[in-house]
Structure 1
Amino acid sequence: MINGLLFYWFSWILWIVVTFFMKKSKRRTILACWILVTILSSSLSIEMQNQQISVAFLLLVGGSFILLIQLPRVVYHLFASFTIMIGYAAILFWEKSAPIWMIAPRVILISFILGLLITILTKGLYNQLSIGLLGLTCGEMINGLMLSSYGFRITIGEMQFFDLLLFILVILVFLEMLHKGKDKLYVVLQNHKQTVKWQNE
């Protein structure tokens, strides 16, 4: 699969959802602009101290910090992001040292592992997106700096990373939709039972 294909698909889908389906608010405008600028800058990179860093990656890091400080229980969510960061960096190290154990495509395997970890650590889509973004971006930065210390020249925030990130976000959104659908179905069934009970009486 071409690197970046999942990123562009899911990013535009996410932008459409935010722009046309979220309630009109300042948050919607900021999120839509953030997604659009991230898409536009995904192919740009800058060099900082002999290290190539994607401009879109820097936008994600800054945006994820802003999202995190707006959450309740900031210390807990910061610790959860730290856990995601260590988990993601460890998986990448495991992939480099023993690639034979990657029994499924890396995007699918890593996404489901980290998606499960994020849903275990916190509830609520907004909280999950915040700690997921911060943890993954910091984990990618640690991995890039560690590889560069061994002489490997890579760009922090390559398209492979963005594919993985967007796939995880889609998994989190899908799980949230299933959860809300289950709650609505439960309410409908309860109302139906009450209606049948009243009719029988």
Structure 2
Amino acid sequence: MVQGLIFYYLCWGLWVVATFLMSKTRKRIVASMYVLILLISSGSSWELFRYSGSYAVLVILVFSMHIILHYQKVFYPTLASLFIGVGYAGILLFEKVVPVWMMMPRLVIVGVLSFVVVSMLVEPVFLKIAVWGFASALGECLYTIILSGYGYAEDVGDWAYLDVYSLVCSLVILNSGFVKVSEILEQTVTNRIKRKVGFRS
């Protein structure tokens, strides 16, 4: 599959969810505007000295830092982002050195691992997305800087990165929705059982 298609499909899906399915709050406006700006910026690139990349990674970085800095406890999500970012860069470097190890596509391995780690370290949905965005952007920068030291040139935030980023965000939102539906069903079943027990007694 052509790199970038997954990013576009998932982002348009997330935009539809944010615009039409989320409750009418400030978070809905922020989420829909963010996804729209991300889609628009993904087609543009920048160059600085010997480095280049997509404007989308800058949008991700600014949005993620904004969410984290407005969180009550800034230290923990920042530390978690640094931890995940270093791990993300490490996986990409390992793939570069030993590509045979990657039995499945980067999208699957890095995406699933990142989702699991982010879900273990962070609880609120918006904060999960922010931590993942900051960590992945940081990891991309670190990975590119290390490669440039060995004479390799790669863009920061290429289409492969955007595919992984959007996949993890989608998994976070789907998991949150699944948990909410499970809680509603569990509460409904519990209430019915209580009513039946009360009726019999």
TM-score (norm 2): 0.95
State the shift of 1:138 in Å. 0.6
Structure 1, unmatched stretches of 5+, are none
Aligned twin of 2:22: 22
Partner residue, 2:146: 146
Shift of 1:137: 0.8
In the alignment, the residues of structure 1 paired with residue 111 and residue 157 of structure 2 have an alpha-carbon distance, to the nearest angstrom, of 16
* Cα distance between partner residues in 1 of 2:136 and 2:67: 14
What's the RMSD between the two structures over aligned residues?
Answer: 1.2
Q: For residue 163 of structure 1, what is the aligned residue in structure 2?
A: 163
Deviation at 1:152, TM superposition (A): 1.4
2:11 paired residue number: 11
Which secondary structure state, in structure 2, belongs to the residue aligned with residue 37 of structure 1? Answer: helix
**Residue in structure 2 matched with residue 130 of structure 1 by the alignment:** 130
2:28 counterpart of 1:44: no
Name the SS for the 2:193 alignment partner. Answer: helix
Give the partner amino acid of 2:97: S
* Count of residue pairs brought into register by the alignment: 201
Q: Partners of 1:105 and 1:153 in 2: how far apart?
A: 21
Residue deviations 1:39-62 (CA, integer Å, cap 9, x gap): 112121111112112111111111
In 1, distance between residues paired with 2:11 and 2:199? Answer: 49
**Equivalent-residue separation in structure 2 for 1:191 and 1:142 (angstroms):** 52
> Which range moved further: 136-145 or 171-180?
171-180
Equivalent position amino acid for 1:59 in 2:
V
- Identical aligned residues as a percent: 26
CA distance in 2: counterparts of 1:178 and 1:17, whole angstroms? 14
d(CA) in 2 for partners of 1:178, 1:103: 29
**Counterpart of 1:78?**
78
Unaligned runs of 5+ in 2: none
SS in 2 for 1:52: strand
**TM superposition shift of 1:162:** 0.2
Question: Which amino acid letter does the alignment assign opposite residue 164 of structure 2?
Answer: L
